[in-house]
Every structure is written in C-alpha cells, then in structure tokens.
Chain A
Amino acid sequence: MTGVAKISLKGVKKSFGKKVVLDGVDLEVQKGESVVVIGGSGSGKSVLIKCILGILKADAGSIAVDGQDMAALSRRQRQEVLSRFGMLFQGAALFDSLPVWENVTFGLLAQKRIRRRDARDKAMEVLQRVGLGSDVADLNPAELSGGMQKRVGLARAIAASPDIIFFDEPTTGLDPIMADVINHLIVERVKDLGATTITITHDMASVRKIADRVAMLYKGKLIWVGAKDKIDRSGNPYVDQFIHGRAEGPIRMEVLKA
C-alpha cells in the first residue's frame, strides 16, 4: 500500500424511501487498479457508482478521491475532481441530438480544452483508438449498432484522458465476440492512460478479463473482496453461486417481491 487510496469509500449508505440499496459499503481502490464490482441485477451496483460520481447523494458515509472527502469540497473543487472522471454508461447514453464526433469531444469542448474547429480531428483520433474509422464521425448515434455505440461511448469516456474511469455493464447486450472486443479495448485503453477503474458487471467473462480485484455486492454490502485469481477459491457460498450462475444457493432472487 503506497500513500492514500485513489478512491476510498467508508460506510456509504443510500436508501430510496424504505428500500435500502447500499447499507454501509467500504472499498479502497489503489491508483492504477481495476476493481470489478459484481452482483445480481438490482443489487445497487449502479447506485454505488452514481454516488461516487455525485449524480446521487449518499445518505451517510464518506467518499474520498485522492484523500479528499468529496462532501467537504466546494462546488468548484468538486467540479475539478469530476472533470478527471470518465464514465461509460450501460446503454452508452450518447447524445442523440449530436453527431458522433461531437459526442466524443463533448467533455473536452465543455471544459474548453480544445477549440471547436480542432474538435473533429481530435474526435477522429480518439475514434481510431477504439477501432472506429472516420466514416462514423458524422453519423448520428441512432444509426450505429449496439457494439459501435459502446465503442463511441468508450471513446467519449477516454477522450479527456481521465485518471478514473467507471464502466457500467460494458458488455451487456452484446454478442460474446463483440463483448470480448470491448473488454479488450477497455484493458488496452486503460493501460495507455494508466487510469484507475471501477467496473460493474455480471458478465464473468468481463470480470476475468478486466479485473485486478473483485468485490461482490449483496444486500447493500460488499460481502467479499479479493484478487481475481482467488475468486474460484473464495470459500464464499454467495460468490460461488454467482460466478457459476446457479439458481440454487444462498442467494434468493427476489422474483415475486413487490
């Protein structure tokens, strides 16, 4: 352990009405590390990331980035920290009113780090890094396939060279080959940037490809955290059930709960 953790969560709680989603989450992510959070659908994985990003406000606990407590920062300082984040959304969340190249350079333009007339060239360059040609630059996001949208989303997330990147189910809804392509791109681009990442997924192929460490979220708590190669010998029945995708086990899917 060297110095302060890049991201540090302590006792983070979040409820929506009576439904407790996060019930005291503790997690430390070191610089340059890739942590994958696994857990069933609706287990609060997305909520966790949105709390770190400040899209949702945690009810209790502290979230620190580079040792700075996010809640204690002024609005401007928080903006500054947030500008070093990148995020790939589950559905890519591309702005459908803008062409692909403007989507990719949106963050850079918003931060005034490049001029508008240079933005197209910059977009081409980033698109190339995710394996897309210049022919897609002028298309609308709606004209792209799911895999291409994910790639553009990835391009948008890395365009501003963030040092922390979040991936929300990067492979959901893709065929296995395209999923592997995306996983591969994520590993490569993150390595280029030397970024710290948190990925949430329930795709075990993704976990094995991307993760340094794995954390499992269940009922609002991280019930197991460990290195990737220990996941098959975790000795934790919940983790075992999850990674092997068994219907039988300690985890009861809340299928019929209102």
Chain B
Amino acid sequence: MNFLGMIGRVVLDFLAGAGRLGLFAFHALSHCLRPPYYFRHIASQAVNIGYYSLPVVGLTAVFTGAVLALQIYEGSSRFNAESAVAGIVVIGFVRELGPVLGGLMVAGRVSAAMAAEIGTMRVTEQIDALSTLSTDPFKFLIAPRLIAATLMMPCLVLIADIIGVSGSFVLSTNKLGFNPGSYLKTTFDYLEFDDVISGLVKAGVFGFFIALMGCYHGYNSKGGAQGVGVATTNAVVSASILILFSNYIVTELFFSQ
C-alpha cells in the first residue's frame, strides 16, 4: 500500500513540477513577444552570454575538432576510408558536437550564473521590490535573458563550428598528412545547407532552455544561501538534461523522413 502511495506521490510531484514549469515558460514567452522591451538589458545579457562565453566554447570546439579528426582517422583507416575524415568531421561537428557541447558548456556557465543572480534577488526581496516599483520582473529580468540566450547561442555555435573544423583542419594537415586544399574541398563538398541550419536551430532551442532553467530555478528559489545553491545546481542539471533531450527531438524532426 505504502509503496503504491510512494509511486503516486512521485508521479504527482513530477506532474505538478512540469505544470509549474510549463506555466512559467508560457508566461515568460508571452513577455518575450510583447513590448515594451528593455533593450539595454537584452544587450548587456547578449554580451555576457555571447561574448564572454567565447573562450570556453572556442576551447571546447578546437580540442573537440582535433580529437574528432584523430579518432575518425584512426577508425576509418581500419577499412581504408581515411579520405572521409574531412566530411565526417564537418557533418558530425556542425550537426551534433558544436551545438551540444557548446550548449552544455554555456549551460554550466550561464544557467548557473542566472540562477544564482535571480535567486539572490529573490531571497533578498529585490524581486518583490521590482514589482513595487512598477516593473514586471518577468519583463525586466526574465524576458531579456531568454531573448539574449536564444539569439546568441546560434552565433556562438556558428563560431564554434568554424573553430572546430579549423582545429580538425590544422591537425589533419600537420599530423595526418592531408593536403590542405583537398581537405577544404572535401569539407565543403560534403557539407550541406541543412546541416548548418539544423545545428543553428538546435543552438537556439538550447539557448532558450539554458536561460529558462536559470531563470526558473532562480525565480523560485527560497531559503537563503542554501536555497540559492540548490537552485544553481538544479538549473545546470536540468538545463543539461533538457539540452540532450531536445537535441534528440530536434534531430528526429529534421532528419527522420
């Protein structure tokens, strides 16, 4: 009996949480689509999310690109398909590794920062103060973050794609003995427009979830420093899971004809 009750409680808690998150997302999204906009805040968030994430994302991309080239070269040499390295690297990177790894790195950086900042504002009553000063916290705090993250992630991923493929190019031409000209030619021959677009759409979706999770957990944090800590952890974990999950969904939508 008790066991069944436990299952019931877990399911109900999960559904209640999903409902709360859904309402929060809907509310936040409706504020993103309705003016007025705080352009100064959108811009400063965009700089913070886009520009300051460049080193992290760039480093991730260059090493991943190089490793990818090494691994694929080693693997494909088992069936004499070394010439496919350039093509596989670019498709793999642009479709999957760029957006997913970039998304996960940005989730660690940005979701955590948002949850900590908004969470601290919550526990120090700054969010209540906003609404007593004729300012909607959703409009002022959450919408700019969602808009900035959704717009900046594709830009970041585009740069990551270029850096990643360059990393693989440098390694392949210097260490694996590829001809630079033919490496580039194969890269562009294999790459299709859809690959890039799907990667960038993913990046936008991931950016939205990264900001949504940071804002949601921060906004609902309670109980002082410890509560903010919990919110920060939950933001990063849930953003990462949502990234991996939505990655599957978007891939399915794009490529399963």
Contacts and interface: CB of A to CB of B under 8 A. Distances in A.
Interface string B124-143: 11101111111100000000
A258 to B, nearest CB: 15
Contacts of A96: 126
Contacts of A89: 125, 128-129
Interface residues of B, number: 12
Contacts of B134: 79, 82-83, 107, 110-111
Contact of B135 (A54, A55, A87, A106): A106
Contacts of B131: 53-55, 82
Nearest to B125: A93
A167 interface: no
Contacts of B124: 91, 93
B133 A107 contact: yes
Interface string A82-96: 110111011101111
Residue of B121, B131, B135 with highest tally of chain A CB at under 10 A: B131
A63 to B, nearest CB: 15
Interface residues of A, number: 23
A186 to B, nearest CB: 17
A95 B126 contact: yes
B128 A50 contact: yes
Nearest to A166: B132
Nearest to B41: A97
A125 to B, nearest CB: 18
B135 A91 contact: no
Contact of B128 (A83, A93, A106, A110): A93
A138 to B, nearest CB: 18
A156 interface: yes
Contacts of B126: 93-96
B20 to A, nearest CB: 15
B125 A91 contact: yes
Contacts of A106: 133, 135
Given A55-B128, A87-B132, 12 more contacts: A54-B131, A83-B134, A87-B128, A89-B129, A90-B125, A94-B126, A95-B121, A95-B130, A106-B133, A107-B134, A107-B135, A110-B135
28 contacts: A50-B128, A53-B128, A53-B131, A53-B132, A54-B131, A79-B134, A82-B131, A82-B132, A82-B134, A83-B134, A86-B132, A87-B128, A87-B132, A89-B128, A89-B129, A90-B125, A91-B124, A91-B125, A93-B125, A93-B129, A95-B126, A95-B129, A106-B133, A107-B133, A107-B134, A107-B135, A110-B134, A160-B133
Q: Which 3 A-B pairs have the closest CB atoms?
A: A107-B133, A93-B125, A93-B129
Interface of B: 121, 124-126, 128-135
